[in-house]
């Protein structure tokens, strides 16, 4: 009787210890695709797929290690990933639908928006059971180097704070485990924007933008606030010239702003103040 109670107690603690670190990642199944088709989880986490499409799908491991039955609209499937590794899967009914679960011993998260130079960067993460400290490393272009150490709490979570100096990749190390890297963009530039009427009877305005310090080749976008676009809409895109400047031709009287973006031409690095262009 006592032995039975001890076994039950041990089972209870094993369960609660396991669930203290575990989390669930959700993946939507839509017509023709898993969204997102790649998820990073902590070893021990569960991934839960939900079918939001009218079609029936499966979630089937390439290596046969797991597989769902047919999942209809509104149905779902969950799978735990107890060990680190990369697990490719697909839909047996629509083999072009593919996805991947990457399980790590340690995960790191950073700010998704650019931060200003001198600010504190909050880096959070989770580590597998049994890890007490993690090393945080940064790579600004010359290789990874230690920048902080963080203690792991009873739930597996850890927090670190580093000073933003320049854009860098960050990662966390827990024993032999390495987290996927996270990119943190640090704003070390500023926008100078000047708008004026075009001369000689020509319609519209000129919007001149200058970025300091010089950043020739960087992309700037003129956005116009349009009612029919329900917000800001990219109107023109320019590369900064050798003097780190660009000129836009804009409609007079429009509400406009200039955005300095990453090389993809979309992700904002600095968003200039909104302004009403002269009429």
Partner 1 sequence: MTSRYSVSVLAAVAFFFVLAFSASASAATRTYWIAAVPTNWNVIPNEKDAMSGMTFTPAQTVVPTVVYRRYSPRWRKALPNNPRSVTDGGLIPGPLLHARVGDSIVVHFKNEDTLRHDPHSMHFHGVKYPPSSDGAFIPGFSGGDADVKVGQTWTYRLKAVKNSVGVWPYHDHSMSMEDSIMGGMYGALSIFGRHERKPDREFLVYFNMLHGFMTIDGRAFVGNTPIFRARVGQLVQWDVLTLGDDFHTFHVHGHRWVGPGGVPQDTKTIGPAESFRVHWVEDNPGTWLYHCHVEMHMMNGMIGLYRVSR
If the CB atoms of residues 20 and 270 are measured against partner 1, the closer one turns out to be 270
Please calculate the CA angle 150-121-171 and round it to the nearest 5 degrees.
55
CB of 29 to partner 1, least distance (A): 10
Q: Which of 231, 242, 273, 279 binds partner 1 (CB under 8 A)?
A: 231
Q: Which is nearer to partner 1, 62 or 194 (CB)?
A: 62
Residue 81: which of 107, 112, 110, 109 has the closest Cα?
107
Could you say which of 26, 40, 46, 55 contacts partner 1 (CB under 8 A)?
55
How many CA atoms lie less than 13 Å away from 164 in the CB half-sphere?
20
In degrees rounded to 5, what are phi and psi of residue 68?
-95, 160
- For partner 1, which residue of 16, 74, 141, 230 counts as binding (CB under 8 A)? 230
Question: CB of residue 73 vs partner 1: minimum separation in angstroms?
Answer: 9
**Piece in contact with partner 1 (CB under 8 A), picked from 8-16, 24-32, 169-177, 208-216:** 24-32
> Whole-number minimum distance, CB 94 to partner 1, in Å?
7
User: 124 near 109, Cβ under 8 Å?
Assistant: yes
Among 75, 76, 175, 234, binds partner 1 (CB under 8 A): 234
- Backbone phi, then psi, for 149, in 5-degree steps? -125, 140
Q: Which string of DSSP letters, residue by residue, matches 92-105?
A: SSSTT-EEEEEEES
Strand partners, 252: none
Tokens of 193: 């924007």
CB of 114 to partner 1, least distance (A): 12
Rule CB under 8 A: say whether 96 interacts with partner 1: yes
DSSP-based three-state secondary structure for 73: coil
Q: Report if residue 32 touches partner 1, rule: CB under 8 A.
A: yes
Nearest to 56 by CA among 76, 78, 68, 73: 73
Site for partner 1 contains 30 (CB under 8 A):
yes
Q: Which is nearer to partner 1, 130 or 265 (CB)?
A: 265
Smallest separation (angstroms) from partner 1 to the CB of 175: 30
Pairing of strands 219-226, 106-109: unpaired
Is 38 a binding residue for partner 1 by CB under 8 A? The answer is: no
- How many residues line the site for partner 1 (CB under 8 A)? 27
Among 203, 242, 264, 279, indicate the residue that binds partner 1 (CB under 8 A).
264
Q: How far apart are CA 267 and CA 226, in angstroms?
A: 20
Strand, helix or coil at 250?
strand
Shortest reach from residue 36's CB to partner 1, in Å: 8
Query: Is position 266 an interface residue for partner 1 (rule: CB under 8 A)?
Result: yes
Scanning 83-91, 144-152, 200-208, 221-229 for contacts with partner 1 by CB under 8 A, the matching segment is: 221-229
> For residue 89, with 0-12 CB atoms within 10 Å meaning exposed, 13-18 middle and 19 or more buried, which class applies?
buried
Residues interacting with partner 1, by CB under 8 A?
Answer: 28, 30-33, 35-36, 52-55, 94, 96, 112, 226, 228-234, 264-268
């Amino acid at each position: 009787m006592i032995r039975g109670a001890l076994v039950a107690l041990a089972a209870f603690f094993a369960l609660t210890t396991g669930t203290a670190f575990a989390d669930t990642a959700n993946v939507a199944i839509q017509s023709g695709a898993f969204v997102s088709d790649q998820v990073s989880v902590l070893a021990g986490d569960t991934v839960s797929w939900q079918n939001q499409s009218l079609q029936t799908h499966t979630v089937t491991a390439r290596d046969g290690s797991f597989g769902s039955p047919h999942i209809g609209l509104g149905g779902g499937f969950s799978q735990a990933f107890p060990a680190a590794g990369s697990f490719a899967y697909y839909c047996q009914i629509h083999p072009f639908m593919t996805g991947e679960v990457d399980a790590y011993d340690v995960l790191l998260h950073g700010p998704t928006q650019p931060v200003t130079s001198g600010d504190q960067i909050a880096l959070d993460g989770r580590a597998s059971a049994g890890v007490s400290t993690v090393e945080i490393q940064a790579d600004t272009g010359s290789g990874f180097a230690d920048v902080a150490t963080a203690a792991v709490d009873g739930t597996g979570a850890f927090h670190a704070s580093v000073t933003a100096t320049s854009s860098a990749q960050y990662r966390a190390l827990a024993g032999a485990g390495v987290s996927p890297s996270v990119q943190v963009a640090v704003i070390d530039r500023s926008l100078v924007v000047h708008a004026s009427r075009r001369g000689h009877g020509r319609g519209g305005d000129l919007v001149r933008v200058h970025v300091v310090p010089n950043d020739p080749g960087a992309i700037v976008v003129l956005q116009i606030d349009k009612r029919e676009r329900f917000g800001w809409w990219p109107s023109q895109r320019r590369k900064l010239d050798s003097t780190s400047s660009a000129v836009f031709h804009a409609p007079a009287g429009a509400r406009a702003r200039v955005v300095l973006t990453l090389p993809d031409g979309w992700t904002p690095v600095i968003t200039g103040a909104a302004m009403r262009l002269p009429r």
